[in-house]
Chain A
Amino acid sequence: MSFALLVTFIQQAIRLSSTLLLGSTGEIITEKSGNLNLGTPGIMASGAISGIVGAYFYTSSSLTFNPVISILITILCSIVGSLLITLIYCFLTITLKTNQNVTGLALTTFGVGISNFIGSLINQQMGGTSVAAFPEIGKAYRTPLPFAENLGVFGDIFLSYGFMTYLAIIIAVAAGFVITKTRIGLNLRSVGENPATADAAGVNVSRYKYVATLIGGAVSGLGGLYYVMDFAAANWQNNILDQFGWLSVALVIFAVWRPNFAILGSIVFGALYVIGSFLLNLGPKDQELLKILPYVVTILVLVFISMRDKKENQPPESLGLSYFREER
């Protein structure tokens, strides 16, 4: 692999990693409260399509185009969309205490379905082209840091990305800080580990679960928004976010429930995902086969951490269980 190609490879890996990083940071926040949200792919798809809806209304309005405003509008729409769909999950699993796995899977079906549906409606409105595309907004999202071009390879590798890549890292670091270093984080972890104890200590279990799951949903949704706006340059495509949603869920394990590890993990996953297209002497068949890597690596990590059975690397104790006070 030549040097220039290596740089492009790293860039591609990091580009893809932001989707996974945001997706899994959201899921980590959610899982820390004891909610295993298998609706993540659905939430990411809804976050993405809500951004596209915002983009559609903004570009078709009579306002003159302003890149900053377009970004703000799409982010706002994305957050609102993800919050709404996550609220369904919260209400069902926390208030109505339904099974989290089933609710999450239904949420994925729902979110992916509704985003494909809205996507096809927007395509129709835009004249029936095969994809809904907003090139100006894509360009706004992809604008690199201003001084990236003058710094050679360093600039290429570290500064050539759209703002959301950096936002993703900031969110992950902030989430890691809050979870491990603050009282709120301590309470959150206690809710995820043993809600009955947390309840006895005066922590409002339902409120923590609601807030954590909603914030987690919004962050995951931003992952979807990043993918469609930056990575795909504001082109909507049906069913594309499914696999990245599941990869984000997988990344949570890979990162052993630590957002800081997820930063590195997401780059590894991104690299594993794109490596096939950079090994030029491989045929298309073998490139296809290499796409298996992120999943196999996740499985190996999963088995490995369960074999070592170290306390600090385990999922939250009550992950996936509903809490009802009378059942203590």
Chain B
Amino acid sequence: MTETRIKQAHEPLIRITKRDNMGLKKSAIVYAVGIFAALIFSSLLIILVTGLKPTEIFKAMYEGVIGTPVANMGINKKYVEAIHAAAILLCISLAVTPAFKMKFWNIGAEGQVLVGCLASAYCMLEFGGKMDNTVLLIVMLLTSILFGMLWALLPAICKALWNTNETLFTLMMNYVAMTLVSYFIMVKDRSGRSDLGILNERTGYGYLPELFGRSYYFNILIVTVVTVLMFIYLKYSKQGYEISVVGESENTARYIGINVKRVIMRTVAISGAICGLVGFMIVAGDKHSIKSAIVGGQGFTAIMVSWMSKFNPIIMIPVSMLIIFLNIGSKYATSAFRVDNSIGDILTAIVIFSIIACEFFIRYKVNFRKTKRRAGK
């Protein structure tokens, strides 16, 4: 060490410093630029695959989401479907938010939603026809919520008691849930196809009632209520405040007399309960079936939506819409070209990458070297 000469200090070409606070207007511009760049990049990718002209792509994507005017009779089905898909993603994002705000990295939303689905499907098959449909729906709802809650609470209890790593615990719980669902299907299925098809197709037991002629509206209504409640809960309630404090600093929380363990368990239970609710909505209000891939990775996407929206339930609405519309649109635009559906996932990831990269420019300032280095230095 004595031999190393101290290099003459000089200013590096690029230096990064922390920003105090960027104005709302400025940060909105940064995000807009980021999303725009992601969209350009995405459409370039689609052009590369399909050879469509850029205008044709956006037309095709628009048709994919909104539906063609010719097929539009009365209520536009496609449009509602897209909104519904966004609502489901939004609801999972809302579910994971309180836990994330507390820095509890619950990446098990996929599994928590899935056990919710499983609970609902089980009740549908087991109690369908044995009780009044309204009672059945309530039983389904409650068991789904209970299971979702349990699935989340198990890691939370271990976290609170022994500081067990919740990221990996919840991740493993996803696969436990998936295996249980495959097992359930094999137990219930007598045809040997490992697929239960549509549950209670003839009887319609345990189906959410239609609102304005569509069962989707019921789900959208539920999600709207959850969004508003979550916004109020996080922003104005005492518990919401406790969540922020625990998230910012556990020591501070302890110092001002918050029971950190209790807050962790309570918040994660809420998180899991909403996931279970989503499971109920998927089975009772949408798919009416069960399979291990029914959540389709949305549990993971929701985590990213929640993060990108800075845990703000209101911002989550446009973000989840952006992700879902891009997904549906790109699938529709490329559907004629026999490429895999995964194009939607790729575009989702590109948007996420660019939005989280934008955060950097909001939090930090990049300084370039102003003066030229003099010779000999």
Contacts and interface: CB of A to CB of B under 8 A. Distances in A.
Interface of A: 36, 38, 88, 92, 96-99, 101-103, 105-110, 112-114, 116-117, 119-121, 124, 128, 238, 243, 246, 249-250, 253, 284-285, 288-289, 291-292, 295-296, 298-299, 302-303, 306-307, 309, 315, 320, 324, 326-327
B97 to A, nearest CB: 13
Contact of A306 (B158, B172, B346): B158
A253 B350 CA distance: 30
A113 B179 contact: no
A296 B175 CA distance: 9
A289 B300 contact: no
A99 B164 contact: no
A299 B294 CA distance: 24
Given A96-B360, A98-B360, A246 B353 contact: no
* Majority DSSP secondary structure for residues of B touching A: helix
Given A107-B349, A288-B182, A299-B172, A120 B303 contact: no
Contacts of A96: 356-357, 359-360
15 contacts: A92-B357, A97-B364, A98-B360, A99-B356, A101-B105, A109-B348, A110-B353, A113-B343, A117-B342, A128-B338, A243-B175, A246-B175, A253-B165, A292-B176, A306-B158
Nearest to B185: A288
Given A117-B346, A303-B158, A284 B186 contact: yes
Contact of B165 (A124, A306, A309): A306
B286 interface: no
Contact of B356 (A106, A116, A309): A106
Nearest to A292: B179
Interface of B: 16-18, 49, 105, 107, 158, 162-165, 167-169, 171-176, 179-180, 182-183, 186-187, 297, 300-301, 303-304, 307-308, 338-340, 342-346, 348-350, 352-353, 356-357, 359-360, 363-364
B354 to A, nearest CB: 10
Given A249-B171, A285-B183, A105 B300 contact: yes
Contacts of B353: 88, 92, 103, 106, 110
Contacts of A291: 179, 182
Contact of A285 (B167, B187, B300, B359): B187
Contacts of A309: 162-163
B171 A116 contact: no
A295 B304 CA distance: 24
B107 A101 contact: yes
B154 to A, nearest CB: 9
A120 B340 contact: yes
A119 to B, nearest CB: 7
A109 B186 contact: no
Contacts of A110: 345-346, 349-350, 353
A205 to B, nearest CB: 13
A116 B357 contact: no
